[in-house]
């Protein structure tokens, strides 16, 4: 396993910490476990929804729901698009098409980078953790930008365009749009990605602490 990773990632012999050597430092073991569990949480997150919006409309007493996964959306899309059409908002399916298409590939790459951190000890590999740690924030930022783009670029020729000013929909909590209201919340997929981010940050901390301890032990020997 180590030899394959070294060949794939180009790590030098002096830069690699083997599993046996890692086992001699509790901090290295802890960091490996945290990286592996963090990678597993990222993989699991793709199967769970990240975000949900409930649209409360007079004609729909039970509400209309939009559920966003990392690579697709589902819910009452046709009904919501029908209501949005009257105020000049574009169909929901046109939002974040590129992001949803590349998400599985991007997530796979991020997971492989985290696993590289777990199994190959090389100081300059630490930046590989950045995409995984920032993933929840990137998701929220992308959601906000798309919602803002949709709300601020209404079709002026729509039937009720004069009744609604351009607006930025609320991506978290309660919001109002004319006679409608929305309730948005984060779901389990997002929290799995957030947990992965936290685990990987702790993994970096333990890896650095163990590296310092190993250097001190070597110097003292």
pLDDT at 23 over 50: no
pLDDT greater than 60 at residue 41: yes
CA–centroid distance for 61 within its chain: 32
pLDDT band, residue 5 (cuts 50/70/90): very low
Domain locations in the chain as residue ranges: 2-214
Position 7 pLDDT exceeds 70 = no
User: pLDDT tens for residues 144-199?
Assistant: 999 999 989 988 888 777 777 888 889 999 998 878 899 999 999 999 999 999 99
Q: What is the mean pLDDT of residues 39-67?
A: 94
The three state secondary structure string of the chain is CHHHHHHHHCCCHHHCCCHHHHCCCHHHHHHHHHHHHHHHHHHHHCCCCCEEEEEEECCEEEEEEEEECCCCEEECHHHHHHHHHHHCCCCHHHCCHHHHHHHHHHHHHHHHHHHHHHHCCCHHHHHHHHHHHHHHHHHHHHHHHHHHHHHHCCCCCCCCHHHCCCCCCCCCEEEEECCEEEEEEECHHHHHHHHHHHHHHHHHHHHHHHHHHHHHHHHHC
What pLDDT, on a 0 to 100 scale, did the predictor assign at position 214? 67
- Return d(Cα 63, Cα 54) in angstroms, integer: 6
Strand partners, 174: 183
**17 — pLDDT class (breaks 50, 70, 90):** very low
Query: pLDDT tens digits, residue range 62-79?
Result: 999 999 999 999 999 999
Position 124 pLDDT exceeds 90: no
Dump pLDDT digits (tens) for 74-110: 999 999 999 888 888 899 888 888 999 999 999 999 9
Maximal C-alpha separation, the chain: 80
pLDDT score at 3: 52
How far, rounded to the nearest angstrom, does the alpha carbon of residue 162 sit from its chain's CA centroid? 37
């Amino acid at each position: 396993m180590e030899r394959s990773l070294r060949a794939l990632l180009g790590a030098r012999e002096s830069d690699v910490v083997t599993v046996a050597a890692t086992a001699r430092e509790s901090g290295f073991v802890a960091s490996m476990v945290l990286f592996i569990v963090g990678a597993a949480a990222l993989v699991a997150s793709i199967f769970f929804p990240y975000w949900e919006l409930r649209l409360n409309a007079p004609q729909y007493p039970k509400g209309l729901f939009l559920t966003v996964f990392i690579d697709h959306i589902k819910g009452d899309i046709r009904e919501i698009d029908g209501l949005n059409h009257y105020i000049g908002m574009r169909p929901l399916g046109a939002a974040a098409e590129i992001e949803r298409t590349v998400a599985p590939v991007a997530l796979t790459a991020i997971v492989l980078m985290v696993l590289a951190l777990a199994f190959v000890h090389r100081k300059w590999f630490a930046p590989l953790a950045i995409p995984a740690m920032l993933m929840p924030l990137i998701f929220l930022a992308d959601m906000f930008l798309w919602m803002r783009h949709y709300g601020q670029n209404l079709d002026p020729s729509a039937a009720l365009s004069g009744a609604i000013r351009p607006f930025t929909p609320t991506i978290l909590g309660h919001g109002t749009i004319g006679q409608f209201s929305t309730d948005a919340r984060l779901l389990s997929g997002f929290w799995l990605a957030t947990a992965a981010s936290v685990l990987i940050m702790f993994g970096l901390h333990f890896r650095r602490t163990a590296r310092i301890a190993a250097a001190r032990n070597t110097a003292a020997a």
